[in-house]
Homo-oligomer: A and B are copies of this chain.
Amino acid sequence: MKIDPKNPADLSAQIAKAIRDAIMSGDLLVDERLPSEAELAEQFEVSRPTVREALKRLGAQSLIRTQRGATGGAFVNRLKFEDAYGQQITTSTLLLSMNDVSFATACEARYALERACAPLSAQRRTADHLATMRAEAHRQSQPGLTDEAFCASDVAFHRALVDAAGNPVLSYQLAGAVEAMQPLMNMITFSARSRERIVGLHSAIADAIELQDAAKADALLDDLARYTQELAQNVISDREAARAQS
């Protein structure tokens, strides 16, 4: 973990890579303490600020945590699912917004992934998950709700559906897809009529999950996906019409 070619640029990146590799290969174990910044500087034959830049890079990926004081230092961090959620959501959100990903593409991906969870969710759903889904469906039926609040509740509903699968890996993978969709969803204005239909589908999905009817849940998610696409298509058409008129 100490090879640095004589390329005197990107030193901090090279050091970060060396330490990252050591962590990923198991050379450094969870909660193990790294040498102090001064020692690392000596080992790598660089200055302390350079070492610090490398450590900050690793900190940004939640690979290490630092603590001040006598027994402090940098420690290999046990990467938690909740830490990874945040990073995944940031990355996914930026990916969608910076690459001109169409609503259709993102929506297709989201519902494809959710439908992958549905059979497992139907099989393993607990009372907790069902209660959350029903509570969110009920909230969505309140009249005074803003579009943003409606979307947020929609995300919460689908999160509960995904979490019901009882597979943290799936929950993690889908967190990004579902949450990153929210900015795109916010462009849709939901009429009372469309809200009614969505809430109806949500309730039906909750019913199917409760009855452990995976095929029904799958079909309903397919309906919901189609309807969401339809709503988005209308928004896009309206905009183009308005632009043609002006």
Interfacial residues, chain A to chain B (CB-CB below 8 A): 12, 16, 20, 23-24, 26, 30, 49, 52-54, 56-61, 63, 78-81, 84, 87-88, 90-99, 101, 105-106, 108-110, 112-113, 115-117, 119-120, 165, 167-170, 172-174, 176-177
Closest to A52 in B: B53
Whole-angstrom distance between the alpha carbons of A101 and B166 in the complex? Answer: 12
Q: A108-B169, A169-B177 are in contact. List 9 more A-B contacts (CB 8 A).
A: A16-B60, A52-B53, A61-B90, A81-B99, A92-B172, A95-B172, A108-B167, A115-B116, A116-B116
Nearest Cβ on chain B to A214's Cβ, whole angstroms: 12
Nearest Cβ on chain B to A65's Cβ, whole angstroms: 12
Nearest Cβ on chain B to A90's Cβ, whole angstroms: 7
Beta-carbon contact of A105 and B60 below 8 Å: no
Nearest Cβ on chain B to A17's Cβ, whole angstroms: 11
A101 contacts across to B, CB distance below 8 A: 168-169
Nearest Cβ on chain B to A52's Cβ, whole angstroms: 6
Beta-carbon contact of A173 and B79 below 8 Å: no
Beta-carbon contact of A99 and B113 below 8 Å: no
**Given contacts A56-B53, A60-B61, are A98 and B112 in contact (CB under 8 A)?**
no
Beta-carbon contact of A61 and B87 below 8 Å: yes
Beta-carbon contact of B12 and A56 below 8 Å: yes
Listed from nearest, the 5 A-B pairs whose CB atoms lie closest are A116-B116, A109-B169, A57-B60, A60-B60, A112-B116
Whole-angstrom distance between the alpha carbons of A164 and B115 in the complex? Answer: 18
Whole-angstrom distance between the alpha carbons of A234 and B97 in the complex? Answer: 45
Beta-carbon contact of A78 and B60 below 8 Å: no
Nearest Cβ on chain B to A10's Cβ, whole angstroms: 10
A84 contacts across to B, CB distance below 8 A: 91-92, 95
